[in-house]
Structure 1
Amino acid sequence: MAHAENEVTINRPASEVYAFLADGLNNPRWRSGVQGIALKEGSAGELGAIYSQTLTGPKGRPIQGDYRITDAGPGKLLGFQVVAGPARPTGSYTLTEEGNSTRVRFSLDLKLPLLMRVFDSLVTKTMESEVAQLTKLKEVIEAG
């Protein structure tokens, strides 16, 4: 299984960080590969909501990366499952409030089919690049 995770501390309360993450329309502000996003189904940030997302794929080509919110614990946990596109990882943001700051752990997991396991290191590298963008998330949220 391909796995990647990263952690950052953001100088904002967990409720504020969670609200920002839960609204998928904020993704282009901190995730460089998001070309466009729209709420496709459900209510923004709520359990079961589906976001239609266009990402930058190999050689700059657009690919779909639609996802559904699978866990919604305000201020604590936001989970998702990618439901469209070539790779369909699960992911989560785990938030831990520490005084006036919030520790955010972003993890991604992808179970590759047997025939695709030769690409495990390439997929893991791509996922590591994605979770590394927490640094940008910190900058954006702290800047207000």
Structure 2
Amino acid sequence: MAFADYEVLISKDAMTVYKFLMDGTNNSLWRPGVRSVALQSGVLGENGAVYKQTVAGPAGRPIAADFQITEARPGAEIRFNVVAGPARPTGGYFLSTEGAMTRLRFALEYHPKGLQKLMNSMVQKTMESEVAQLEQLKTVIESRPAD
């Protein structure tokens, strides 16, 4: 199993952060490895939405990394499953209010099966890099004007 998580404190309220994250098309604004992302099915920003996403893989090769929102609790939690690509982790964003700020934790978990276990250390490093991108998310959200 591979697991990674990272946490930041964002100078915006929890609903602002939640709404930004629920719109999966925003991924390219804070995750530099995302080459393209678009709503594939469902309703933008709602539970059940599926996003078609392509990310940069080894040597810059494009890799499918489509994901589906599987659980959404407004202002508190968003869970998703990666439904396309060589590694299919599950993940979540967990929000808590601290005064006028939001503590945001991003966690990814991957349970490889069969020969996929040979990729576990590479997947672990990739997941650690992915969750650390919350620093970029913090910068992007804090620089946006208030709704």
TM-score (norm 1): 0.97
Deviation at 1:115, TM superposition (A): 2.4
* 2:73 partner letter: G
Mean Cα deviation higher: 112-121 or 94-103: 112-121
**Superposed, which structure 2 residues align to 1:65-84 within 5 Å?**
65-84=65-84
Deviation at 1:90, TM superposition (A): 0.2
Between the two proteins, what is the percent identity of the paired residues? 55
Structure 1 residues 56-112: Cα deviation after superposition (integer angstroms, max 9, x where no partner): 011101111000000111100000000011111000000001110000000000001
* 2:11 partner letter: N
| Runs of 4+ in structure 1 over 4 Å off | none
In 2, Cα distance between equivalents of 1:15 and 1:35:
27
Alignment-derived partner of residue 37 in structure 1: 37
Look up the SS of the partner of 2:12 in the other structure. coil
Alignment-derived partner of residue 23 in structure 2: 23
For structure 1, which runs of at least 5 residues remain unmatched after alignment?
none
For structure 2, which runs of at least 5 residues remain unmatched after alignment?
none
In 1, Cα distance between equivalents of 2:97 and 2:62:
36
In 2, Cα distance between equivalents of 1:68 and 1:115:
25
Look up the SS of the partner of 1:123 in the other structure. helix
Does residue 138 (structure 1) correspond to residue 138 (structure 2)? The answer is yes
Report the aligned-residue RMSD: 0.8
* 1:137 partner letter: L
Alignment-derived partner of residue 12 in structure 1: 12
Deviation at 1:123, TM superposition (A): 1.0
In 2, Cα distance between equivalents of 1:122 and 1:33:
16
Aligned residue-pair number = 144
* 2:133 partner letter: Q
TM-score (norm 2): 0.96
